[in-house]
Amino acid sequence: MTFSLAHSLEFLERTPLLLHHLLDGLSEEWTHTNEGPDTWSAYDVVGHLIHGEKTDWIPRMEIILAQKPNSEFEPFDRFAQFNASKGKTLAQLLAEFKALRTHNLAQLRSKNLREKDFALLGKHPALGPASLAQLIATWVVHDLNHLSQISRIMAKQYTKEVGPWYAYLGILQPK
């Protein structure tokens, strides 16, 4: 599929609803269990998505659109959610994510971007030049990546319980 803002928006606006339906009201055994040391739970992933809404997508879009010399993106703290989420319930995190995403998509829509804007470049501190189209496409795939991660984390809770069907369940297989 070729990049399209309309296609990106139709997915990005669904992620909060998908997460709410998937996670809200589940026991902590489902939402707070991870895959082992140095891995994340579904709760941690939602916190990570919130941090991205606050510090990544829209701030980087603004840097690209400003087109100032040496406009490098701020490095992204992939672990900020561990402190930021402390003391919050999953329901609170899901509501916060929904509110932030709604606000960010309204900001994105308000820019009335034209085709030429999607070719504008910013600079990632580790990866180098990146276009606005690539940033927005990455936002979509980032959501999909973490939805897949949440599904895998949760599926692995029943690894032993599936018995002989383990052989047919690719989500449980090591990569």
| Domain ranges across the chain | 5-172
Residue-wise pLDDT tens digits, 88-112: 999 999 999 999 999 999 999 999 9
pLDDT, position 29: 96
Residue-wise pLDDT tens digits, 4-38: 999 999 999 999 999 999 999 999 999 999 999 99
Look at domain 5-172 and name its CATH class: mainly alpha
pLDDT over threshold 80, residue 175: no
User: In 3-state terms, what secondary structure has residue 113?
Assistant: coil
143-149 contacts, C-beta under 8 A, 24 or more apart? 143/11, 143/12, 143/15, 143/49, 144/11, 146/45, 146/48, 146/49, 147/15, 147/18, 147/19, 149/40, 149/45
pTM: predicted TM-score of the whole model, two decimal places: 0.95
Residue-wise pLDDT tens digits, 36-59: 999 999 999 999 999 999 999 999
pLDDT, position 69: 83
